[in-house]
């Protein structure tokens, strides 16, 4: 298993890009998961934003998880697999019902993956169940 020092060595001469930004506690979980799959990542402070100049913003506790661009598909696959496993578990508990995506004819609305309603979105959400889709 990779640790932070091995990741730092692997990324020493590599060009890294921010993959995800958020609170440190959440990103440490992402970092731990990536390192457990031997994907080198590092945590970095994001560049200051315009709001930071005046002070009082909430950006101070935010960090970025950075990785090599070529590792991003591997990272996404790990988290997609975890999400599917959690969704399957939730399905087993009868709390969520997901429907497989269907082919949609041109000009028609695609069905909502949660409830199957094929209608225009309302403020980026399903007009029937409210699932945020945009």
List the chain pLDDT tens, one digit each, 134 residues: 899 999 999 999 999 999 998 888 888 999 999 999 999 999 998 887 777 666 666 666 789 999 999 999 999 998 888 888 777 776 555 555 555 555 667 778 887 777 778 888 888 888 877 777 76
Residue 34 burial class via C-beta count within 10 angstroms: exposed 0-12, middle 13-18, buried 19 and up: buried
Q: What is the distance between the alpha carbons of residues 61 and 54, in angstroms, rounded to a whole number?
A: 16
- CATH for 4-92, options being 3.30.70, 1.10.10, 2.40.10, 3.40.50: 3.30.70
Q: The pTM is what?
A: 0.60
Cα 62–Cα 65–Cα 71 angle in degrees, nearest 5: 165
User: Domain spans of the chain?
Assistant: 4-92, 99-134
**56 CB neighbour count, 10 Å cutoff:** 7
DSSP-H helix ranges across 66-121: 72-92
Convert the pLDDT of each residue in 32-64 to its tens digit: 999 999 999 999 988 877 776 666 666 667 899
Q: So what's the pLDDT on residue 84? A: 80
User: Who's near 82: CB < 8 A, 6+ residues apart?
Assistant: 33
């Amino acid at each position: 298993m990779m640790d932070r020092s091995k990741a730092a060595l692997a990324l020493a001469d590599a060009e890294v890009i921010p993959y995800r930004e958020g609170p440190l506690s959440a990103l440490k979980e992402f970092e731990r998961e990536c390192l457990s799959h031997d994907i080198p990542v590092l945590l970095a402070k994001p560049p200051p934003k315009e709001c930071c100049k005046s002070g009082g913003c909430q950006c101070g506790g935010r960090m970025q998880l950075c990785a090599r661009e070529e590792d991003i598909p591997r990272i996404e696959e790990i988290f997609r697999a975890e999400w599917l496993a959690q969704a399957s578990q939730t399905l087993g508990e009868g709390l969520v019902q997901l429907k497989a995506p269907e082919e949609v004819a041109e000009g028609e609305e695609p069905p909502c993956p949660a409830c199957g309603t094929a209608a225009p979105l309302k403020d980026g959400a399903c007009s029937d169940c409210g699932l945020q889709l945009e």
